[in-house]
Chain A
Amino acid sequence: MHGRPRKAPTDEEQEASSNKAVKLRDLQSQVLQFHRNKIYTKEAIEISAKLLESNPEHYTGWNYRKLAVEHLLDHLPENGVDSESIQSILDEELRLVENALKRNFKSYGAWHHRKWILSKGHSSTDRELRLLSKFQKLDSRNFHAWNYRRFISALKKIPDEEELQYTTNMIYDNFSNYSAWHNRSVLLSNLLEKGGKGYDDRGTVLGEEYEFVRNALFTDPDDQSGWFYHLWLLEQTLQREPLFLSSWPPNGSTLCLSIDGYLNSQQSWPMLHFQSKARTFPLILYFSEAVEGVSSSTVTVESEYNAGGDLIWRPLSPKKFGFSQAWLTDLKFSDKVHSLESCPVKITVAHFPGIISSSGMPCSQSCHLSFTVCVPANDQERSEVQTAHRISLEEENFKALATQSEEAKLVHSLSKLEIEKVNRPTTCKQSLETISNEIAHCQELLSSTDCKIGKLTLARLWMARNTLITYGSTDDGTEVHYEDILALYRDLMKMDPVHICYYEDEYSLALWKQATSNLVSLLKHCYQYQETSSSPSMNPSLCVRLNGLSLSRIGSMEHLLWVQMLDLSHNKLRSIEGLETLQLLSCLNLSNNKICSFTALEPLKKLKSLQVLDISNNEIGAHSIDTRRYLCSSPLNHALVSEWHFDKFASDDVTLKDHWDAYLIFDDLNLIQLEIMGNAIVDDRLRSFLFKLMPSLKWIDGESKCD
């Protein structure tokens, strides 16, 4: 029971409870014996009743009972098989369950047994409903009762409309009844899916529900039940198809495959360079939400010089198994292609419905995108392998972009999401109206009540509105200023410090959106990086800097698929989920963040192009119990085990116990430069281990291998 202070039991109490325990154990062993020996006599059954009435949690006891019932039913005398005798056997069970429930109202075993009996079909469902009403009067929120109610309704085939009315009555009684609201959402989902009388117009039905719950929100804004239901309603309103957003290579670009080049040479739209010895390059498709079903049957790649065979698409960020926002495949161009030939590639996405979001909505919008690939002349002549230079990442090496510069234009082109959409999705006007309506009401409420859930809801509503506008066809510029949203989250962090991590994450997402989805703001974050101390022949690189913004989380990548150099230093990142999408990333700065384990770097394993990594001044190894250390795909995952070659690196100094996570992450990487100092875990042993692990690695913390 909640809220009862614990008191040390008195001697008498202890004695009484140990006596009870003895009796109970005795009963238990008896029942187990009956069970094993399949004894179903009247006495045995009575003993089991005694046991279950005093300990309804005894799972095996219930199983025994079920077997006993079956036994009894099977052994009814020939002429005695009528519904009455069956009923009396079953009624006895129901009576037992009732007694057990009196003891512990929330016993799973008891409820399950009751369901089992009812499924046999001889018992009165009316009586069950009456019993349920009684239970729910006593405690209207008990989820067992509600669960059971759903079961009985299904059994009795009570129409959902009737059950909906029941929840309405319960809510009228006490609108704090979270379970009633929840049941309502379940029933409405069914009704809306089935359609039918009164439920075919989704917008109207949801509108009535908004009105209904609004009364609760205004009457008592501090009561959470109404807000949770409101959230569900918003999810229903915002439900939409997944959209194909962006790709790399971008639509209309020309990709030059090259063999050499450390950092890609100066690019200028539409020419993009990609270094690949194997003549393959990644094709990345990015969607508005996690989807599954991206395969060669749902995405067609038309190109003359395709190396042939079905393409294998891999999800890039498997949070939910098989679902991902970003999908990757490698396009290989055969050797037969000669230099300077341009090969147009046309991609058609989703021309069958087959790509489905995790909420079950299909992507029905078909898109085309096309780009050109050219393979330059065999550059064996330029045999001089460019020596890699160490990158210092010093502040002075960054220069802001001039607005009309080539780079700016490049960014401009890269960040536009121009995809030829065959079926333009229409922004549901109704959804937009509903959201605007809810925003107005929310603001009305907040004008007189300082309520944190209200503020959170308003922030979510504003974000949702922006999303609807940007992803829909109406880009009428009525987006909400992100500054307002950020201000709300800052308020919330102060008002509700308990949930500060959540607010920081939402804040980061909003900030990320603000920074990247608008060209003007994106340009502010683009810099030219040039190593002043190195040879001027090194071309300046384009770097996106999102440092020092208090980001705790990484946001949507749709505008950043092209990024090769990314600065995320001086933030609050604990996790870098989302970075795996940036397949072109070659230089990544994560210094001065809150990364506290190697396993948090798991997303980097997919970045084949990554060469420079700065994770200095984080918190790896700072805590003796690293709570995030084990939040990774299991090292015992069968896919990895076959590749487990740790023994190669084991030595007296380097043990599996200490370094398995570093191994896990760095084994896949081909880093040239690594900054790692300022983390508690770093020591010489680790450094030497890493040098051994990554043959390409030249510098750790500025010290070269040979030092």
Chain B
Amino acid sequence: MASRRRVLLKVIILGDSGVGKTSLMNQYVNRKFSNQYKATIGADFLTKEVQFEDRIFTLQIWDTAGQERFQSLGVAFYRGADCCVLVYDVNVAKSFDNLNNWREEFLIQASPPDPENFPFVVLGNKIDVDGGNSRVVSEKKAKAWCASKGNIPYFETSAKEGFNVEAAFECIAKNALKNEPEEELYLPDAIDMAGGQQQRSAGCEC
């Protein structure tokens, strides 16, 4: 759960299994790609520092850890997201059709205060496959859907080639920033457990 400190932005990536969510994350943060599909074993969340104007932010990108496979993401996953990325595979029609479900599921679970204006970003991934020949969802169709849902920014990407990934996440970061917390639930002073194992040292008495 991302803390609501201003400098930390929580981004979640939604989409059907296998559309390339983890690969996109890895490509953006680590500039790595692996052909092995391990059904996201081990992917939890990655962080990256981004600079915007003259401020530095930490982007915390949350992977679904495979729980999306049977639509079994818990409400905790959605909480506190500053931006939601919807990913589909341009070569798999069903994955595009499900975007709507994912979007709605997010709005129900996360209950953002201003659902109309919550920042989504849509990524059409795997445009590299077969030189683009196995593509079944056209850019036009995708853009139309995005426009109809409040002008959601749209990017066509290839995690494998690293195409457009940087640009997409820059846009994601910018959008996440827009959503500065006016949340009713501003939760200040949450306990910091990171240093929890250390003893508090006694101060010098002079």
Contact = CB atoms under 8 A, between A and B. Distances in A.
B139 to A, nearest CB: 51
A21 to B, nearest CB: 25
A106 B206 CA distance: 9
A139 B204 CA distance: 8
A138 B203 CA distance: 8
Interface string A138-166: 11111100000000000000000000000
A271 B204 CA distance: 66
A139 B206 contact: no
A140 B203 CA distance: 9
Contacts of A1: 204
Contacts of A142: 203
Contacts of B203: 138-142
A197 interface: no
A627 B206 CA distance: 28
A2 interface: yes
A104 to B, nearest CB: 12
A143 B205 CA distance: 9
Nearest to B205: A141
Interface string B176-206: 0000000000000000000000000001111
Chain B contact surface mostly: loop
Contacts of A138: 203
Contacts, number: 12
A4 to B, nearest CB: 11
Contacts of B204: 1-2, 139
A2 B205 CA distance: 9
Interface string B132-176: 000000000000000000000000000000000000000000000
Contacts of B206: 106, 143
Interface residues of A, number: 9
Contacts of A106: 206
Interface string A465-491: 000000000000000000000000000
B161 to A, nearest CB: 46
Nearest to A1: B204
A290 B204 CA distance: 38
A237 B203 CA distance: 33
A478 to B, nearest CB: 41
Contacts of A140: 203
Contacts of A139: 203-204
Contacts of B205: 2, 141
Interface string A1-27: 110000000000000000000000000
A1 B204 CA distance: 8
Interface in B81-119: none
A138 B205 CA distance: 13
A141 B205 CA distance: 7
A140 B205 CA distance: 10
A85 B112 CA distance: 43
B202 to A, nearest CB: 9
Nearest to A178: B205
A380 B203 CA distance: 80
Nearest to A179: B205
Contacts of A2: 204-205
B188 to A, nearest CB: 15
A106 B203 CA distance: 13
Contacts of A141: 203, 205
Nearest to B203: A139
A545 to B, nearest CB: 47
A92 to B, nearest CB: 17
B205 to A, nearest CB: 6
Interface string B63-97: 00000000000000000000000000000000000
Nearest to A143: B206
A142 B204 CA distance: 8
Interface string A561-604: 00000000000000000000000000000000000000000000
Nearest to B204: A2
Interface in A388-410: none
Nearest to A106: B206
A522 B99 CA distance: 106
Interface in A93-107: 106
A485 to B, nearest CB: 32
B204 to A, nearest CB: 6
A515 to B, nearest CB: 41
A234 B206 CA distance: 25
A2 B204 CA distance: 7
B155 to A, nearest CB: 41
Nearest to A176: B205
B123 to A, nearest CB: 42
A295 B101 CA distance: 101
A428 to B, nearest CB: 36
A1 B205 CA distance: 10
A246 B54 CA distance: 80
A140 to B, nearest CB: 8
A392 to B, nearest CB: 57
Contacts of A143: 206
A503 to B, nearest CB: 24
B4 to A, nearest CB: 21
A140 B204 CA distance: 10
Interface string A103-118: 0001000000000000
A2 B206 CA distance: 10
A190 to B, nearest CB: 26
A2 B203 CA distance: 10
A566 B206 CA distance: 47
Interface in A121-146: 138-143
Interface string B2-22: 000000000000000000000
7 contacts: A1-B204, A2-B204, A2-B205, A139-B203, A139-B204, A141-B203, A142-B203
Chain A to chain B: the 10 pairs with minimum beta-carbon distance, closest first: A139-B203, A2-B204, A141-B205, A141-B203, A1-B204, A106-B206, A139-B204, A140-B203, A143-B206, A138-B203
Interface of A: 1-2, 106, 138-143
Given A106-B206, A139-B203, A141-B203, 5 more contacts: A1-B204, A2-B204, A139-B204, A142-B203, A143-B206
